[in-house]
Amino acid sequence: MKNCKKHFLVTLIVLMLGQFLAPKAAHSQVIEVGGSVGLSYYMGDINPSKPFNQSQLGWGALVRYYNDTRWAFRLAYSNLQLNGSDKASGYRPERGLSFNDNVNDVALIAEFNFFDYFTGSKRHGLSPYLFGGISVLSFNPKADDGTALCNVLTDVDYDGTMPSDGDAKYSKVAVSIPFGVGVKYSLGKKLGIALEWRWDYAFTDWLDDCHAYYPTENNEYSDPTNFTGNSGETYIQRGNKYNNDWYGYLNFSLVYKFVLPGGTDCNARDKYKNY
């Protein structure tokens, strides 16, 4: 599934580059402002293969800019709750790991409509679309009792040495690549809705605070089932440090349209009145 997502992203990037390199004429400018709500979920070392496992409520706000009827660009903020546990996913229940996380994500995204689309159009008010971009996110995984796991001894450093107890071992700010599919529908002259499924590939493996090996000094957060204590071994693999984490957001959005005449198109409102 991850390979399919990566191929999808490469295809979208090629389409975006073609749009940026193509010569452009002046068009009216359309701005849409709105919000989104939906289900957010995590996939990683604790849940590697089950989308929507322990999904939570997510919400967001967006500003979308149209330069024509095929391409749009949006700035979006998303507040996504992520949960994961070995018990719920059934992947490695002997570890007994769990976490909850609140991700704040700010993304710049390009959208490509398969058909001509314009909110308020009588003939072109429906289109599926692809999208992709880049985002910056902040996160802070916590245990069930609210303890911030980043500041607790839960793993070993890359070189196998122990980090100092209480020291933050990793950055709680990262970059991700958001991409996905959706469909837009015009409700009226000023209102539009969309249903989309967004995936984010995060350039961090710490959304779940699970990475590499068990620490040699056990605590209730790093080894809640005392798995390493029962085995008597050291440096047992606790997570896969070569696979970064993912998160998803299946959401419904509602937007309100503003038409702003721009370039040489002084009659933008009349031009798109019955488009």
Confidence class for position 90, pLDDT limits 50, 70, 90 = very high
Compare 189 and 24 and report the one with higher pLDDT.
189
End-to-end CA distance of the chain: 39
Mean pLDDT of all residues in 57-75? 95
pLDDT, position 261: 67
pLDDT in tens, 232-242: 777 788 899 89
pLDDT, position 4: 55
Integer Rg of the chain from CA = 22
- Residue 186 phi/psi, 5-degree rounding, is -85, 120
Confidence class for position 8, pLDDT limits 50, 70, 90 = low
